Chains A and B, each alone.
Chain A
């Protein structure tokens, strides 16, 4: 039978721990769960193929947040991230990450992933952040996925590729019971009963529309359509600080990193059209992004990554990294534009908006054990709320989630779910395939994401958000009543649009709730231009209560690592001052 032809079918399987998403956090979560209890069944479900899925599909140039003894301390890192994230941090989870990440580095090393060392055999850690030194290059970073995949096979993890999870199942007492998924090539439904579920489904990266107009030319892997955020929401889990958007400085049009984290330690820097530096530090924070945005609009734009002043050998070294890992088509793109790093600066721009804790702080709320607010449901990686956690955070918190979830599974039997929930979800999933006539998913998606750009991109204006909400509601009605899918592949896209629409609605709701400005560009509200610590020094938690989207405040947990008053605004001083 031809691929993509719709097949009517439903089957059910069960496992102890179900991990959804096989990118970065997911494989580590599955591996740790299985190693904790080798007799248990661990299923790793993936919308694409675990071999090449997720943000590190082509590997990664290095670790951006390695806390290595002798170079940085967990206390220092916790302090840095607290300040970079404007104080809104539950430090316990960040501190735990900072304490554990070195052992994960050693473990990755044992998997065959190498980390750069100097001639004395010490880790060659580089400084990119404002205060501390945490960036560690990976000389064979292109092999990360292969190394992980070998471990998964060795541990006999059950991998199910090309299944897209659409909804979580719960028991009447609110405990997790499993998930419903659909085969992306046949549209057959697979119900997976599980004692514990770990969501590792990446960022909501297909929310805004890239300025190139190419829908899949997103900063994040375009498969990351925010399905995890949507599923967590519909399961009643709380989502934290969604108004703290992800917006990144990228190569203009190419929409991938330029990448200052790689080139900065060699002496490259971000400059305006006069060739002058205007930011103190290239670490991606909302405050830095605000200065970047201001510079673009000031008449001193465009903004460039400047490296032509470096020695040709240094440039070749940077080039070989940038054109080999993470986004290897960077080289092809620059070649097409006639850009040679030896003679030309790299034009940069800002990305579309998205949710991603990996770089900012917008994620499904988790505590320091990666537990969400739903018993038995965990989250890790870009979609979980531990801020600025990058790839090493995904590995480390994935590990935490895997171990804790297996413990949960050992102490609980399967929770019972209502068979009607499966029937209802099957109807919802298949609805676009039952229509004879209507609007294809790509048009609904384009319109939704165009509305996100028009109305939701910072600066956030209340009046624009109110209009955006109305327009999105109209698009949602079209989606629910008229969207058609003529084959299984179109159905995959149709389901992704529904995640994107949910994320757009959550972005509006969360942004309108926080009546202050915080995190620089990420949450700059023109109607409330000041930071208001008296009323808003808190997390916001968004959740579905009695079928309605609701937001509430949550106090920031007392700090584990105290921050002195004169340190609190270090990241607010990003603009280089004119010297007399």
Chain B
């Protein structure tokens, strides 16, 4: 069966201007219980790669530069 890619608005937003993943920081990726954050090959910044979020906050709380914002997933809002 062929697969389609599915569009979804993701709850975790990273401010590229503040994110220091390109300097080697991986804190948000490391702490996420659901392992849904990744560092982009294109921008070198963190982003939410998988929409599988428990809106639990470690990524936002532990980010050393305040670059991460956790929003409530749209379906719950």
A residues with a Cβ closer than 8 A to B are 2-4, 48-49, 51-54, 57-58, 162, 184-185, 212-218, 221-223, 253-255, 327-329, 332-333, 336-337, 437-440, 489, 492-493
Contact = CB atoms under 8 A, between A and B. Distances in A.
A212 B53 CA distance: 13
A216 B31 contact: no
B76 A214 contact: yes
Interface in B16-45: 30-35, 38-39, 41
Contacts, number: 92
22 contacts: A3-B38, A48-B33, A49-B30, A52-B58, A57-B33, A57-B56, A57-B58, A58-B61, A185-B35, A215-B52, A217-B75, A217-B76, A222-B34, A327-B56, A328-B61, A329-B72, A332-B71, A438-B1, A439-B1, A440-B3, A489-B50, A492-B35
B1 A437 contact: yes
Given A58-B57, A216-B52, A327-B56, A49 B38 contact: no
Nearest to A437: B1
A217 B73 contact: yes
A489 B77 CA distance: 27
Contact of A333 (B56, B62, B76): B76
Nearest to B26: A3
Given A52-B62, A58-B58, A223-B33, 10 more contacts: A2-B41, A52-B32, A184-B35, A212-B76, A214-B76, A217-B75, A221-B33, A223-B34, A332-B70, A333-B72
A489 B29 CA distance: 13
Contacts of B72: 254, 329, 332-333, 336
A217 B51 CA distance: 11
A184 B72 CA distance: 26
A329 B57 contact: yes
A170 B61 CA distance: 41
Contacts of A439: 1
Contacts of B49: 489
Contacts of B56: 57-58, 221, 327, 329
A52 B75 contact: no
B11 to A, nearest CB: 9
Given A49-B30, A221-B33, A212 B75 contact: yes
Contacts of A51: 30-31, 58
B35 A216 contact: no
A53 B70 contact: no
A54 B34 CA distance: 10
Given A332-B72, A333-B76, A48 B52 contact: no
Contacts of B39: 3
Nearest to A23: B33
B35 to A, nearest CB: 6
A48 B32 contact: yes
A184 B35 CA distance: 9
Contact of B70 (A213, A329, A438): A329
B14 to A, nearest CB: 16
Listed from nearest, the 8 A-B pairs whose CB atoms lie closest are A52-B58, A214-B75, A52-B31, A48-B33, A222-B54, A329-B55, A212-B76, A216-B52
